[in-house]
């Protein structure tokens, strides 16, 4: 036979019972389960999650879920117009060697009478949670359900949604889910814009402006040797140059998103609107001690 063999199509299952059976069959075959939960509209950032999953070992079978979760959208958000390019999504899964796709409908995930949710704690009301009330209860509820349904050994989440990653990692610890959460660095366009399924909403002008967020974060990170005030001032200066940005927040937190970052690993997070599009991004940095704590040299 000549040429490369076409990658096999992933098997698609629509109900929790079907995907549960398919996962158990893979396990019986000696496979470990690596899980990538998504809302579809897959881009290179999702493909990177799948590649990381594949690199976990030859015995790994990748399971991807595609479900636009109504519970994590507010009443004035983009649930109805959220992109749903199913054929392209399945092709992206096939190209990354995904074994199973879980593609439930809303009634499969939230049957009549479903009323139990997972609370995200105090952090769930801050940052994105302050801008989008109820968002993280919706995220944690669907992710907890998906973890029970798919029962993975390991699950992959992008650092682009850093607060989501922290809250899911915390939920796994606090509620004793028997799995490991693996963070995957943000994939970016050439100008630094973080890949997001929502970038398709941006007009050409706003698309050009959107890279300001990453430039601001970089400026903040470059000022880390000056301590927290210098970081926020440097990032704020870059954001202020772009009139079209309507700011939601620019905050410096510790790596677990606590409010008093100590010297050491920290996270600078930004959210802003361009037109009707809500954009978020973040960057890790190493914060220097401030003021009198700072060592002087010479
Ligand atoms: O990051 C996302 O795409 C979603 O919030 C997730 C984790 C798939 C839950 O719906």
pLDDT digits (tens, 9 = 90+) for 123-181: 999 999 999 999 999 999 999 999 999 999 999 999 999 999 999 999 999 999 999 99
Pocket-testing residue among 35, 36, 39, ligand 1, by greatest number of atoms within 8 A of Cβ: 39
CB 98 within 8 Å of CB 10: yes
**For residues 268 and 281, what is the distance between their CA atoms, to the nearest angstrom?**
9
Closest protein CA for atom 9 of ligand 1: 139
Give the confidence band of 4 by pLDDT, cuts at 50, 70, 90.
low
Distance 279 CA to ligand 1 centre (A): 15
DSSP-based three-state secondary structure for 285 = strand
Q: pLDDT, tens digit, for every residue of 247-280?
A: 999 999 999 999 999 999 999 999 999 999 999 9
Instruction: Answer whether residue 287 shows pLDDT above 60.
Output: yes
Distances in whole angstroms, Cα of residue 141 to Cα of each of 15, 37, 167, 168, 197: 17, 13, 11, 10, 21
Distance 34 CA to ligand 1 centre (A): 16
Residues with catalytic function = 46
Closest protein CA for atom 3 of ligand 1: 38
Distance 198 CA to ligand 1 centre (A): 13
User: Architecture of 11-184 per CATH?
Assistant: 3-Layer(aba) Sandwich (3.40)
Burial of 8 (0-12, 13-18, 19+ CB in 10 A): exposed
Q: pLDDT, tens digit, for every residue of 79-89?
A: 999 999 999 99
* Domain 197-297 CATH class label: alpha beta
**For residues 195 and 288, what is the distance between their CA atoms, to the nearest angstrom?**
29
pLDDT of residue 6: 77
Tokens of 34: 């690596």
Question: Residue 18 contacts by C-beta under 8 Å, 6 or more apart in sequence?
Answer: none
DSSP-based three-state secondary structure for 253 = strand
Q: pLDDT, tens digit, for every residue of 19-72?
A: 999 999 999 999 999 999 999 999 999 999 999 999 999 999 999 999 999 999
Tokens of 7: 């990658």
β pairing state of 100-102 and 11-13: parallel
pLDDT of residue 298: 34
Instruction: Answer whether residue 292 shows pLDDT above 70.
Output: no
Portions of the chain given CATH number 3.40.50.620: 11-184
DSSP-based three-state secondary structure for 66 = strand
Q: pLDDT, tens digit, for every residue of 181-194?
A: 999 999 999 999 99
Supply the pTM of this predicted model. 0.95
Tokens of 271: 């959210």
Residue found by looking up tokens 């890790």 in the block: 284
pLDDT of residue 5: 72
Closest protein CA for atom 6 of ligand 1: 38
Distance 256 CA to ligand 1 centre (A): 19
> What is the atom index within ligand 1 of the atom nearest the CA of 158?
1
H/E stretch holding 136: helix 135-150
**For residues 108 and 15, what is the distance between their CA atoms, to the nearest angstrom?**
6
CB 267 within 8 Å of CB 187: no
Average pLDDT value over all residues in the chain: 95
**Residues near ligand 1 with C-beta < 6 Å?**
37-39, 69, 72, 139, 142-143, 161, 164
């Amino acid at each position: 036979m000549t040429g490369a063999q076409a990658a096999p199509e992933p098997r698609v299952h629509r109900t929790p019972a079907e995907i549960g059976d398919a996962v158990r069959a893979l396990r019986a075959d000696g496979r470990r389960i690596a899980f990538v939960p998504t809302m579809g509209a897959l881009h290179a950032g999702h493909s990177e999650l799948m590649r990381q999953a594949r690199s976990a070992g030859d015995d790994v079978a990748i399971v991807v879920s595609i479900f636009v979760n109504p519970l994590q959208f507010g009443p004035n958000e983009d649930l109805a117009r959220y992109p749903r390019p199913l054929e392209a999504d399945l092709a992206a899964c096939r190209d990354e060697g995904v074994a199973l796709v879980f593609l439930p409908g809303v009634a499969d995930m939230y049957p009549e009478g479903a009323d139990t949710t997972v609370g995200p704690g105090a952090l769930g009301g801050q940052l994105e949670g302050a801008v989008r009330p109820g968002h993280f209860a919706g995220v944690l509820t669907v992710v907890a359900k998906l973890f029970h349904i798919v029962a993975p050994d390991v699950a992959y989440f992008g650092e682009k949604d850093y607060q989501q990653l922290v809250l899911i990692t915390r939920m796994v610890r606090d509620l004793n889910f028997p799995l490991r959460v693996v963070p995957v660095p943000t994939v970016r366009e050439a100008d630094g814009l973080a890949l997001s399924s929502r970038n398709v909403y941006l007009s050409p002008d706003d698309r050009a402006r959107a890279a300001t967020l990453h430039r601001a974060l970089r400026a903040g990170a470059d000022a880390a040797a000056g301590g927290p005030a210098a970081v926020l001032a440097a990032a704020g200066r870059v954001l202020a140059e772009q009139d079209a940005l309507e700011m939601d927040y620019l905050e410096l937190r510790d790596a677990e998103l606590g409010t008093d970052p100590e010297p050491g690993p920290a996270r600078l997070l930004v959210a802003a609107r361009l037109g009707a599009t809500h954009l978020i991004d973040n960057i890790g940095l190493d914060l220097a001690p401030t003021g009198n704590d700072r060592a002087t040299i010479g």
